[in-house]
Amino acid sequence: EGIGFIDFSNTISTNHPGGLLNEMTTIYSIVNSLTYNLEEIKQVKILIGGVEKETLAGHCLLLLPMDMDLSITDVTPPPAKTAATLQ
């Protein structure tokens, strides 16, 4: 279905420095790395300790799969694949 699941140990939450910007940076560095570099992954679902968690450190919801969001980076989105480019 294009969803990549990634499971971290509880350490990612317990040792996280917190704060909205720090949490967004952590989450989107993971999501963007996977969706940008692996064509088959369109969204990423982050699990912690093998289960769904509401947030990583109290700010950003993790309950739904997440799409690439390059708005906090200076990276340009990859070119869209079309039928013409696949031939």
The secondary structure of the chain in percent helix, strand, coil, rounded to multiples of 5, reads 30, 20, 50
> Can you give the pLDDT at residue 49?
96
The model's pLDDT over 40-55, given as tens digits with 9 standing for 90+, comes to 999 999 999 999 999 9
Amino acid at 87: Q
What's the CA gap between 18 and 84, in Å, rounded?
45
Residue 85 confidence class, pLDDT cut points 50, 70, 90: low
Global confidence as pTM: 0.82
Q: What percent of the chain has pLDDT over 70?
A: 92
Instruction: Find the range with the poorest average confidence among 3-17, 48-62, 63-77.
Output: 63-77
DSSP letter, residue 61: B
